[in-house]
Amino acid sequence: MKKKLLAVLFGTALVLGACGGGGDDGASKDKDTGSDTGGETASAAEEIYQQNCSMCHGQDLSGGAGHDLRKIGSKHSAEEIEDIIHNGIGSMAPQKQVSDEDAKELAEWLAAKK
């Protein structure tokens, strides 16, 4: 019984942790991580990533609880990535807190990671 309770509590903590959380005011908004898109778009997309994805996928896209995204563009198109953001995949839940516009911008930025 204790194992089931512990599993439920741990699972709840993971789900709540994946819900995004607010932005970190200490995050660099001007840092470009090698995107082939324009600097302003990359900075906006990186900010969206830091606010919504970095907890699971790492500050540098290297993974953690979520997959490594450093070369995600070689596996998925921008449209596929946007679909994954909206609908989830595997153990990743749909990211309902990410707007359609932000998901599109983020997907295009990630698709350039090859």
pLDDT tens digits along 50-90: 999 999 999 999 999 999 999 999 999 999 999 999 999 99
CA distance 60 to 40: 18
Sequence-separated (6 or more) residues with CB below 8 Å from residue 33: 42, 46, 60, 61
20 band by pLDDT with thresholds 50, 70 and 90: low
* Alpha carbon distance 109, 94 (integer Å): 19
pLDDT band per the 50, 70, 90 thresholds, residue 7: low
Measured at the alpha carbon of residue 97, what is the angle toward residues 92 and 99, in degrees to the nearest 5? Answer: 110
Q: Is 66 within 8 Å of 110 (Cβ atoms)?
A: no
Among the listed ranges 30-34, 93-97, 110-114, which one has the minimum average pLDDT value?
30-34
* Token pair recorded at residue 62: 């290297």
Cβ–Cβ contacts within 10 Å for residue 48, how many? Answer: 21
Q: Which of 7-21, 43-57, 98-112 has the lowest mean pLDDT?
A: 7-21
8 A C-beta contact, residue 44 and residue 32: no
Task: Please tell me the pTM assigned to this model.
Answer: 0.65
Q: Catalogue all structural domains in the chain, each as residue range(s) with its CATH number.
A: 31-111 (1.10.760.10)
